[in-house]
Amino acid sequence: MPVLLEPTHHWVCPNCPAESVTREARPHSQFHTCPGLKGLSAPMVEAGVRVEVRPVERDDYVGSEKVQTDAEGRPWMAVVTKRNDGEDRAVLAPSATIAARS
């Protein structure tokens, strides 16, 4: 009888000591709050893969937008993962807001 094994994925971060393990057959990614990127939500990468993970500055001014910032309050637009064979991008979406005032 065949035995189906769930593949194990070992994740690391090139910018901090974080490590993680997932058991999932479908393609997936793993994110964490990265102290190396001053608290930004950033992708982890599979152990053994050489990549660069870096934040991308926001192009537009912030204005009244509820943007995502690092621990120093600096707004960022995205986090890019540069691989030898391509690039992934995780955009840090602002929150839309509506306020009722009396």
Partner 1 sequence: MAWSASKVFMALIEDALENTDAKNLLTDTHKAALYDNDITPDNTVATANTVFNAGQWTSAGNEVFDAAEWATGGVALTGVTSAFASTTYTFDAANTSSGASATLAAVFGCLVYDDTVADRGICYNYFGGSNSVTDGTFTVIWHTNGIFTATG
- Contacting positions for partner 1 (CB under 8 A): 27, 29, 31, 41, 43, 58-60, 62-68, 75, 77-79, 81, 83, 85-100
Min dist CB 57 to partner 1, Å, is 8
Q: CA-CA distances (angstroms) from residue 44 to 76, 85, 99?
A: 18, 17, 35
For residue 1, what are its two tokens? Answer: 């009888």
Q: CA-CA distances (angstroms) from residue 24 to 4, 7, 10, 30, 69?
A: 12, 6, 11, 11, 31
Min dist CB 6 to partner 1, Å, is 18
Query: Judged by CB, which is closer to partner 1: 12, or 79?
Result: 79
Q: CA-CA distances (angstroms) from residue 38 to 18, 23, 27, 41, 45?
A: 13, 28, 28, 9, 18
Query: Judged by CB, which is closer to partner 1: 13, or 92?
Result: 92
Min dist CB 23 to partner 1, Å, is 18
Query: Judged by CB, which is closer to partner 1: 1, or 50?
Result: 50
Query: Judged by CB, which is closer to partner 1: 16, or 78?
Result: 78
